[in-house]
Every structure is written in structure tokens, then in C-alpha cells.
Amino acid sequence: MRARQNPIAIALRAGFTLVEVMIALLIGMIGIVVMMQVFSVSEGFKRTATSGTDAQVNGAVAMYMIEREIRTSGYNLNDLMSKGCPVVRLWWNASASGVDLRLVPAEINPAGIPAGDPNTDVIQVAFGTADSSVSGVPASQPPAVPGGPMDPTADFKLISGTHDTFKAGDLVVAVQPLPSGVSSCAIHELTKVFQASGNCGTPSGLSGLLEHKTIPYKSAYQGCGIALPVHNSPPPGIRDSSGAVVPGLDSQKGGMLYNLGGIPSIHVWAVRGGNLTMCDRGQKDCSVLTNYDVMVNDIVSLRAVYAMATTPADLTKPPDLVTVAWGRAPLTTDNLLPTRVVAVAFEVVARSNLKEKSTTGGTTCDATIDKTRPDKSQDWMYQGMGGAGIDLSAASADWNCYRYKLYQTRVPVRNTLWRP
């Protein structure tokens, strides 16, 4: 006779029914869906906040880099600008060719430089790095033959003072006034100076002379290592844009020498491909787009405007009494216009790298509504100063799918006011 089995034990051995398993799976799936929705929303907020922070950081860095250079602009150039140099010839020894530069502190959309992205400006900033060189010094170059014209490849002879701040490796601008009323201006690279302190501690045997040859030399800016001259020319000398050899210096006819230091900066800032880029005209041909280096990512707009003294006479007044007018007119009307730029206002717009979805669930993006007001802040540079307006629609076809940050500032060009 069989023993009677416990019904509870039988139920435990039977396990879960199919209905119970399906109900458990349904409950689990609902829980997973809820958790994933919470995670998705949380991750979206996180990505938006992170991309917004990236835009703020990128915009602040771009603003700082350009502002810092504009504040330094014009150093070693303030006296040079008033000497009748519409352009300065920069020679490349390797290619036996040159380029004409306008050595002014700051210039918007300079000639010879390709434009940046649509509806953006290009800003060129220039300054020297000489230790203590505010004004030029009279200098001459002896003629190649007695009674002949001055030899532009001869050593420079300083006429007054010792000016012992010159160093081997300095770039100097030789300025010779011409009968036409303008001046011939060309950059030379010093390969040997007369004082041992600027000649890597080696007495040169020169007496008041500054050499600018095409042979290797010890550069004070490369740890006194051997350097090859980049900006000098063998006889007959540097040629201007017309092919004529630049004249030698004659101090009796106003010949002057200006020291720019060993590493002068002629930087061109432009928005290219949605990034802030920079090219150094002292080192590269900035008419070639591949010579621009990306400095800050996701910068989609750069705009600038001048504050200009209304007349040259205003520059003789104390800085706080100078009457200025804001504008963007090219600095080509006369040679005094660059000297009258006392401040530059500029603005940059940074874009987040996250493409936002529509808040209404549709297909039309609405992260940014107004293409002229990136973050709804007031574009005071355009509204009150005659600047060029911002237009984000040129950045990309889906410009309104991104968030932006606008930075604006005004920067005094102090070296324009500090005159010798």
C-alpha cells in the first residue's frame, strides 16, 4: 500500500507555471523600460550640460588668446608706423621671393589674406619682441664703390648711441625715405652684432656695425646654436614687389633702423572650417590655407570693429580725452589711419558639439531660434558700434540644432598711445 505524499511537497516540485513566468517577464521588462527611460533622460541632460560647458570653455579660451595679442599689439611698431611705410618687404632666402606686409598693430580683413568662413572676419595682429626698442636709430650702409649708391647688403652702421640691445637673430626694419614721399622698408635678419652680450658672448670685432649675411651664424634665440638666415639676400639685395632692389640706408637722408626682436609676431586669426585658426606671417605664407593651425575647436564666428581717433591731432591728447568713432573702414585711406586705431572690439561665438533634438518631438530643430543672437544675449558690438552682424546660418545647414555662447570685449591698443 502506497504512502500518502505531502501535497505541499508535490507543489514545490511542480515549479512555476507558464503564466507566472510570463507575468514575471512582463514586470521585469516594464522595470527595464522605466530604468532605460530615466537613464536616457539623465544622459541627455548630462550631454547637454557637458557640451554647453565645452562651448563656454572654447569661447573663453578663444577670447583670451586674441585679446592677449591685441593688448600687446603695436609694441616696437608705434614709431615705425609714422615713417611713411605703406608696406614692409619680408624676404625669403630659400625661395628668393618676398611678400609685402602692413606692419600695423591690428587690422581687420587685411589684403592678401583669404577670407574665413562666410560671415566671419579675419584679424591680423602684429608686435615686436625686442628688449627695449621704442624708437628707431639712424643708420647707414656704405656704397659698394666710392661715390656710388648705398649697398643694401653692406653691414648697418649705427650713427648715434650704442644701442646694445641688438642680438644675433634679431629682425630689423630698414627704413629709407624716398623722394616720392614714401619710404622703402625691408626686414633684415642680424647674423652678428658688435657687442659680445648680444653675440652669444663672442666678441665680433665689429665697431658699431650690425651684420646681416646669408651664411650660418650663432642665434641668441636658439640657445646660441647654429642657425641659417631666413630673411636675408645675397647681392644685389632684397627685391621689392616690382623687382627693383631696395635701396641701402643713408642716415643723411633719413635712413633709420628699427628692431623687432628675434621672434616678432604677425599672427592672422580666422575661423576656418568651424574652428579658430592662426597663421604666423613671419614663418609661413598665410595666403595658403594649409598653413593655418587649429587653435580652438568649434568656433563659428569672429567679428571685429575699430575704435579710431577722429583726427591725428587727437593722439596728442591724454588717452581719456581722445575722441573716437567706431567703424570697420579699411586702413588704406592714408598712412596715418593705422596710427589712429586706439582700440579693437571683437566677438567670438562658440558652438556646442552636441546636436540637440527638437523639444516638441518634431523634425525641426529649435535649440537656437535666432541666427543673429546665438545665446539670446545682446549683440552690442553690432547694435551700437557699427560692427558686422552675426549670422549663424552660414556655419551649417542645421545651425539651429546646436547651442551657442557669445563672447564680446573691447581691447585698448595701448602701444598706439605710448609714443616716443
Pair 302, 406 in one domain: yes
Contact 414, 106 (CB under 8 A): no
- Structure confidence at residue 4 (pLDDT): 62
Confidence band, pLDDT 50/70/90 cuts, at residue 43: low
Q: Identify the residue with better confidence: 314 or 47.
A: 314
Distances (CA, A) of 29 to 16, 32, 38, 42, 302: 18, 5, 14, 20, 51
- Structure confidence at residue 330 (pLDDT): 86
Pair 322, 311 in one domain: yes
What's the pLDDT tens digit per position in 311-364? 777 767 766 677 888 888 888 756 567 778 889 999 999 998 888 877 777 778
What's the pLDDT tens digit per position in 292-304? 999 999 999 999 9
- Structure confidence at residue 419 (pLDDT): 59
Among 2-6, 25-29, 172-176, 260-264, the minimum mean pLDDT is found in 2-6
Assign 3-state DSSP to the chain and report helix, strand, coil percentages, each to 5: 25, 25, 50
Confidence band, pLDDT 50/70/90 cuts, at residue 41: low
Contact 406, 390 (CB under 8 A): yes
- Structure confidence at residue 170 (pLDDT): 94
- With respect to residue 113, please indicate whether it lies within any of the assigned structural domains: no
The whole domain housing 328 covers 52-76+265-417
pLDDT at 221 over 70: yes
**Most confident of the ranges 58-62, 204-208, 371-375:** 58-62
Contact 268, 113 (CB under 8 A): yes
Look up residue 154 and give its DSSP letter: S
Look up residue 334 and give its DSSP letter: -
Which residues is 294 bridged to in the sheet?
A: 277
- Structure confidence at residue 280 (pLDDT): 93
Q: Identify the residue with better confidence: 62 or 30.
A: 62
CA dist 163 and 92 (Å) reads 27
- Structure confidence at residue 284 (pLDDT): 87
Pair 316, 351 in one domain: yes
- With respect to residue 121, please indicate whether it lies within any of the assigned structural domains: no
What is the phi/psi pair of residue 38, to 5°?
A: -65, -40
Assess whether the previous peptide bond of 114 is cis (omega < 30° from 0).
Answer: no
Mean pLDDT within 135-145: 89
CA dist 274 and 276 (Å) reads 7
Pair 147, 217 in one domain: yes
Last residue of a domain, one of 263, 298, 328: 263
Pair 275, 413 in one domain: yes
- With respect to residue 33, please indicate whether it lies within any of the assigned structural domains: no
Last residue of a domain, one of 263, 290, 321: 263
Confidence band, pLDDT 50/70/90 cuts, at residue 263: confident
Mean pLDDT within 27-50: 72
Confidence band, pLDDT 50/70/90 cuts, at residue 3: low
Share of the chain above pLDDT 70, in %: 88
Contact 277, 140 (CB under 8 A): no
Contact 152, 141 (CB under 8 A): yes
CA trace torsion 257, 263, 265, 271 (10° rounding): 160
What's the pLDDT tens digit per position in 267-286? 999 999 999 999 998 888 89
Q: Identify the residue with better confidence: 162 or 341.
A: 341
- The H-or-E segment that residue 90 falls in is strand 88-92
- Structure confidence at residue 283 (pLDDT): 84
CA trace torsion 161, 165, 168, 170 (10° rounding): -100
**Most confident of the ranges 72-86, 188-202, 226-240, 378-392:** 226-240
Tell me the average pLDDT of the chain.
85
Mean pLDDT within 364-386: 80
Pair 288, 371 in one domain: yes
Give which of 220, 359, 228, 350 is closest to 296, Cα–Cα.
350
Q: Quote the strand ranges of 290-376, DSSP E.
A: 293-296, 299-309, 324-327, 341-351
Last residue of a domain, one of 263, 296, 311: 263
Other Cβ atoms closer than 10 A to 377? 12
Q: What are the grid coordinates assigned to 288, written together?
A: 595658403
CA dist 390 and 313 (Å) reads 34
Confidence band, pLDDT 50/70/90 cuts, at residue 243: very high
Pair 160, 170 in one domain: yes
Give which of 263, 259, 219, 282 is closest to 132, Cα–Cα.
259
CA dist 248 and 255 (Å) reads 8
Assess whether the previous peptide bond of 330 is cis (omega < 30° from 0).
Answer: no
Confidence band, pLDDT 50/70/90 cuts, at residue 14: low
pLDDT at 416 over 60: yes
CA dist 107 and 102 (Å) reads 9
pLDDT at 17 over 80: no
DSSP states along 226-238:
EE--SS---TT--
Among 105-114, 160-169, 340-349, the minimum mean pLDDT is found in 160-169
Pair 281, 372 in one domain: yes
Collapsing DSSP states into helix, strand and coil, what is residue 104? coil
Q: Quote the strand ranges of 190-292, DSSP E.
A: 209-210, 217-218, 226-227, 256-259, 265-272, 275-280
- Structure confidence at residue 360 (pLDDT): 74
Q: What are the grid coordinates assigned to 82, written together?
A: 609714422
Which residues is 157 bridged to in the sheet?
A: 140, 209
Collapsing DSSP states into helix, strand and coil, what is residue 79? coil
Confidence band, pLDDT 50/70/90 cuts, at residue 136: confident
Pair 160, 288 in one domain: no
- With respect to residue 232, please indicate whether it lies within any of the assigned structural domains: yes
DSSP states along 159-184:
-SS--TT--TT-EEEEEEE-TTSSEE
pLDDT at 202 over 60: yes
Pair 294, 249 in one domain: no
- With respect to residue 354, please indicate whether it lies within any of the assigned structural domains: yes
Pair 344, 218 in one domain: no
Number of domains in the chain: 2
Pair 222, 362 in one domain: no
Give which of 16, 1, 52, 4 is closest to 354, Cα–Cα.
52
Q: What are the grid coordinates assigned to 258, written together?
A: 628699427
